[in-house]
Structure 1
Amino acid sequence: MMKVARTFLSSGRIFFVLFIAVSAVVFAMFQGGKVSWTIFYVLFPFICYSILLFFYPLVDIKAERTIRTPNVQNGGKLAVSITVYRRIRFPLLYTVVTEQWEEKEIPKLAGEKLKRFFLWGFRKEVKWEYEIERMPRGEHVLQGVEVEVSDFFGWIKKKKFIPAKHTILVYPKTVSINYVPIDTQYDRGSMASPLNIVKDTTMATGVRNYQPGDRVTWIHWKSFARTQSLMTKEFEDKRSQELFLILDSRPAETFEGQVELAASILKESTSQQAGLTFMSTGAESSIFPFIQSEEQFHRALVHLAKIKPSKDQSDARLPGGEETSGHGGSIVLITGNPDWPFIQSVTQNVKNARRIVCFVVTQDGQIPPTLASNIQLAKSRGIAVHSLAQERFTTAFEEVTRL
C-alpha cells in the first residue's frame, strides 16, 4: 500500500512539472512579447533538471557504515562514520541523508545529529560522521540509511532506503572493585583467609597423626597395620574460590545500578580467576557456570548488555536443577528490593550455601520505610544485607567482611 502511494505521489509530481512546462510554452506563444518568452527561458533549465532528476536511478546510490567506537559502555559515546557513494556523476543539489534506528529512543537522544544535508554536486561520494553522547545500555539496531534528493523548488523529490543493518551492544559500565572473598573454609574448622582451601584427594603428599573430624577414607591403613596407630593421609592443598552471583531482574528504579554492580564483580572475579557462577532471575533466567576465562566472561557480559527488567514485578523465580541447588559456596544477591518472594525463591533453590550476602542497590543511599522493612526481613532469615549507593561499589566486598 505504501509503495502504491509513493508511486502515485511521484507520478503526480512529474505531471505537475510537465504542466508547468506546457503552461509556460502556451503562455509564451499566445501572450507573445519579450517578457513572456523570458519567463519561459528562465523556467526551462529548472524544468529540464526536474525531469532528468525524475528519471535518475537512485538504485545507483550505495551506503557504508563504520562504527568507530566498537566497545561502548553505558553512558559512553558512540561514533559512527557513513559513506554514501555512486557511479553516475549526475549533479545532485539538495540531498538529505538520515540514519534510521530501530528504536525511537535513540533519535530522540541524538536529535538532529542523525540527519545531514549535502549539496552533492558532481562528486561520487560524500562522507559524514556523527556522535551520540550518553548511549543507554542495551542492544541497539541500526536499520539503514535513507537518502532523499530534491530539485531547486521541491517539485521533484525522491527517496531511497538503503538497508544496512548493524547491531550495537552497549555494555554495562564497570567500576574497579576491591574483591575480597566473602567466606572461606578449611577442611578442619573455619577461618578467614584470602582463598578457599580445598583438598586435592587425588594426590597424597604424606601422613600425620589422626585428629578427630578427619574422614575415614583418609586413614592410612598400611601405617595402622604396622604401628597400630591411626594415621591420616595428607593431601596437596588446592586453592579455589566458590562464589554464586545472582542478579534480581525484576523492575526497579535501581536496575541499571544492579547490572553495573554485577558486571563489575564479574570483571574483577574473572581477572582473579575466582571461578564465579552467575545467574539472572526471571522468566528468561540464564546461568553461566564457573566463569574464569575471558570468553566465558564475555558471554556473561553480553547477557548483561541485553538484559531487560522482567515484565512482572513478582517474577523472582530461579531455575532449579543441580547447578543451583548443589552449589556449596557463598551466595551474593544483587537486588533493589529484598522482599519475601525474592528471598524465598533463593532459599528454596539454593540449599547448600555456606553464607548468603545481599547487596541492596539504593538511590543516593536513601532507604524508604518499605525497603527498610524488607531488609529487616532478609536479616531475620540469616542473610547478611548491605545497602549500597553506586559511589560505594568499589568497597562493597571490604564492607561486607566487616559485617
Structure 2
Amino acid sequence: MPRGLSKWIKIKRFISFAGILILLAAAFAYAMFQGGFVSWFLFYSFLPFALYPILLFYYPVNFTAERTISPRTYNAGDDIEVNVTLTRRFPFPLLFLVVEDVIPGSLKQKEIKQMFFPGFKKKFKMTYTIGNASRGEHIFQNVRLKTGDALGLLEKEKRIPCKQAILVYPPHEAIFYRSIRNMFDQGGIVSPLSSHDPSLVAGIREYEPGDRFSWIDWKASARVNEMMTKEFDTRESDDFLIVLDTMPTETFEVLVKFAASAARTVIKNGEKAGILLGGKESLFIPPSSGADQLQAIFYHLAKVSEDGSQSVENLFEDPRFSGQSAVYMIVTSKLTKQMIDGAERLRGKKNRVIFFLIKGEGWSIEETELIAAAVRKGLIVQPVEHDFQMAFAGVKQA
C-alpha cells in the first residue's frame, strides 16, 4: 500500500475515534443537564454502540494468514483453487470481517472478497477458484481484512503479508511434425534434417523403389545402362533454435503460444531445441533434447514479457551464436529489412533460417514486398494464422 494512502487511513481512523468520543460526551452531557427517563435511556442505549468501536480501535486485528495453492504450476486456461486460512490468538468479538485476497494484476481477475461473521471464532477458511488462468508468473502479496462496528462509526483495515508465487505455462497446440522436412525439400533444396547429406556422397548403388529422383547418378546410369542411385553418408539432425521477438505487439501472447508449440513438437519428436529471448536481460538456452529441456523452455516462456529494448536483428549479433549450427526459427509478427539482412548473414554461416510470421490481420503491400525480398534471398517465410497444425508445411522459399 502506498505510504500516503496508509497515512490517510490512519488519520481517518483517529478522526472517527475522536468523533465517537465527542458523541458519547454529548449524549452524557444531554442526560446530565436534561435529566429524566428519556434522556438517560437514550444515553444508555447509545453506550454499547459507542463502547464497541472504542474497544475495536485498540484491538490489533492480530490475524495470521496462510494461503494454500497446490500445485504451484499450471497450464494456461486451468482453474486454480486457492485456500486462505485465517487464525488469531485473542478472540475479540467481531461483528463482521471482509476478507480480500489481493489478486495479482497479471492474472486479470476481478476482486475476490468474502464476508464472515466470526464472533469469537479463532480460525476460519476462505476458498475460491480462479478460472481460466493466464500465462505468467503470478505473485500473491497479501491478504486484506476489513471490519467495523454496527453503525459504521469506525472502520478498521489491515493487510497481512502472505507472499506466494505460482507459474502458469503458456498454451500450446499440436503441430504436424513430419511436414517440417518438406520445408527444405521444396524447389530441390535438400533438408538439413534429412538423414542423407548431398555433400557427402559415399558411392553408388542400383536404384530402389522409394529413392528420390534427385539422387539418380545419370552418368553412372548411362555407363552401365541401368538406373544407379547415389549413396550418402548419414549425419545427425540439425539443432533447432527458436528466436522469440519480444517487441511490444497485440499478438504477443500468440507468439509465445507458437514458440511453446514449436518447442514441444520438436523435442517430442526426438530432436534438439533451444530458445533465445530478447529484452534487457536476453536469455539463451542452447539446443538440447529431453523432458528437462522442454520444461526449462516452458518455464522461461511462462515468465517472458514484452520488452522493446532489443529487437530481433540485434539478437543476430549475439556472440553466443558463433559456431552455432542450427535451424533458426524466428517467431515474429513483423518482418523488417534489418531482420532479413541479419538472417541472410546467419544463413551465410551454413545455417537455415525460417521466419514464422504471425499476424491477426491481412498483409499490407509493404509486408508482401518484404516477404518477396526474403524469398528472393533464399530465406524461408511461413505466414501463420490461427491454426498452427500445418505451420511446418507450405513454406514459401526461393
TM > 0.5: yes
Query: What is the alpha-carbon root mean square deviation over aligned residues?
Result: 3.3
- Secondary structure at 2:314's aligned position in 1? coil
Partner in structure 2 of residue 382 of structure 1: 378
User: Does the 8 Å CA contact 1:183/1:330 hold for their aligned counterparts?
Assistant: no
Residues 333-372 of structure 1 correspond to what in structure 2 (within 5 A)? Answer: 333-349=330-346, 351-363=348-360, 366-372=362-368
Check the 8 A contact 2:280/2:310 in 1, yes or no: no
Please, which runs of 5 or more residues in structure 2 have no aligned partner?
A: 206-230
In 1, Cα distance between equivalents of 2:42 and 2:92: 26
The answer to whether the aligner puts 1:79 opposite 2:81 as a matched pair is yes
**1:79-102 deviation per Cα after TM superposition (whole angstroms, max 9, x unaligned):** 322122212221111211222245
Among residues 380, 386, 396, which one is paired with 2:391 in the alignment?
Answer: 396
**Aligned 8 A contact 1:325 1:352 in 2:** no
Question: Aligned pair 1:182/2:184, yes or no?
Answer: no
Separation of aligned partners in 1, 2:342 and 2:233:
38
Distance apart, 1:182 and its partner CA: 3.3
Query: Is 1:293–2:296 an aligned residue pair?
Result: no
Q: What is the match of residue 266 of structure 1?
A: 263
**Structure 1 residues 295 and 362, CA gap change in structure 2 (3 angstroms):** same
1:117-154 CA distances to partner (integer Å, 9 max, x unpaired)?
22222222222223333433223222111111111112
Question: What percent of counterpart residues are identical?
Answer: 30
Q: Closer, same or farther in 2 for the Cα pair 1:182/1:278, shift >3 Å? A: farther
Q: TM-score of the superposition, structure 1-length normalised?
A: 0.78
- Tell me if the contact between 1:251 and 1:313 (Cα under 8 Å) persists in the aligned partners: no
User: Secondary structure of the residue that 2:118 maps to in structure 1?
Assistant: strand
| DSSP-derived class of the 1:269 partner | helix
**1:75-224 alignment to 2 at 5 Å?**
75-101=77-103, 103=105, 106=107, 109-112=108-111, 114-180=112-178, 181-182=180-181, 191=190, 196=195
How far apart are 1:238 and its partner, in Å? 6.2
1:41 equivalent in alignment to 2:55 = no
For 1:282 and 1:4, the matched residues in 2 are separated by: 38
Indicate conservation of the 8 Å contact 1:283/1:315, yes or no.
Answer: no
Q: Compute the displacement of 1:191 (Å).
A: 5.0
Q: State the AA in 1 paired with 2:241.
A: F
Partners of 2:319 and 2:11 lie apart in 1 by: 64
CA deviations on 1:332-368 (whole Å, 9 max, x unpaired) are 221111211222233334532343222111216x223
1:259 to 1:7, Cα distance in 2 relative to 1, 3 A: closer
**Which amino acid in structure 2 is aligned with residue 279 of structure 1?**
L
SS at match of 1:262: helix
SS of the residue corresponding to residue 142 of structure 2 reads strand
Q: 1:195/1:64 Cα in 2 relative to 1: closer, same or farther (>3 Å)?
A: farther
Q: Does 1:9 align with 2:9?
A: no
Q: Once the 2 structures are TM-superposed, how far is the Cα of residue 252 of structure 1 from its aligned partner?
A: 2.4
- Structure 2 Cα separation of the partners of residues 191 and 235 of structure 1: 13
State the AA in 1 paired with 2:259. Answer: A
CA change 1:358–1:184 in 2 (3 A) is closer
The question of 1:251 aligning with 2:253 is answered: no
Q: Which amino acid aligns with 2:169?
A: Y
Give the whole-Å Cα distance in 2 for the aligned partners of 1:358 and 1:126: 55
| Residues 1:196 and 1:248: Cα distance change in structure 2 (over 3 Å) | farther
Corresponding letter in the other structure for 1:306:
K
Matching of residues 318-333 of structure 1 within 5 Å? 318=315, 320=317, 323-333=320-330
Task: Give the equivalent residue in structure 2 for 1:24.
Answer: 27
- Matched residues in 1 for 2:334 and 2:48: separation? 71
- 1:261, distance to aligned residue in structure 2 (A): 0.6
CA distance 1:4–1:389, shift in 2 (3 Å): closer
Which SS does the other structure have where 2:340 is aligned?
helix
* Shift of residue 73, structure 1, vs aligned partner: 3.3
Shift of 1:75: 4.3
Q: What does the per-residue CA deviation read over 1:232-255, in whole Å, with 9 as the maximum and x for residues that have no partner?
A: xx9995643422222222222222
Q: In structure 2, the residue corresponding to 1:397 is in which secondary structure?
A: coil
Residue identity opposite 1:345 in structure 2: G
Number of residue pairs matched by the alignment: 362
